[in-house]
Amino acid sequence: MVVEVADIGNVMINTNLPPLIEGNVRNKHIDDDDDAKEIVLRFGSRKLFAGYDFNEAGDIINRYLEDHDISLAKDVAAINYAYNRIYNRTAQNTT
């Protein structure tokens, strides 16, 4: 088991999440299961990891680790960098 600890506010900013949910959220709550599913589908399809979405990035990492496909080393490094940028970096205000 792996537990990731992250500042959810920073993750929201780094993934540009607010525009995805603005059209679906009323009163800061997701009241409808269909709305929640739509947000998850839209978020999951975003190319956040070096041009790959969540599923593609996971598949690449699995092929690298489980199948020992070393030809994917550069992609895995890029995915790792993007992951760390999203989840571990403090969002910086550039104004």
Beta bridge partners of 16: none
Q: Calculate the average pLDDT of the chain.
A: 81
Mean pLDDT of all residues in 64-89: 92
| Maximal C-alpha separation, the chain | 48
Mean pLDDT of all residues in 9-21: 77
How far apart CA 7 and CA 87 sit, in angstroms, is 8
The more confidently predicted of residues 87 and 82 is: 82
- Asked whether the predicted pLDDT for residue 50 surpasses 50, the reply is yes
Say which residues have a Cβ less than 8 Å from residue 18's Cβ, sequence separation at least 6: 12
Locus of tokens 């199948």: 67
Contact 75, 50 (CB under 8 A): yes
The more confidently predicted of residues 29 and 17 is: 17
Q: Given this model, what pLDDT does residue 77 score?
A: 97
Tokens representing residue 64 in the block: 């690298």
Mean pLDDT of all residues in 63-91: 89
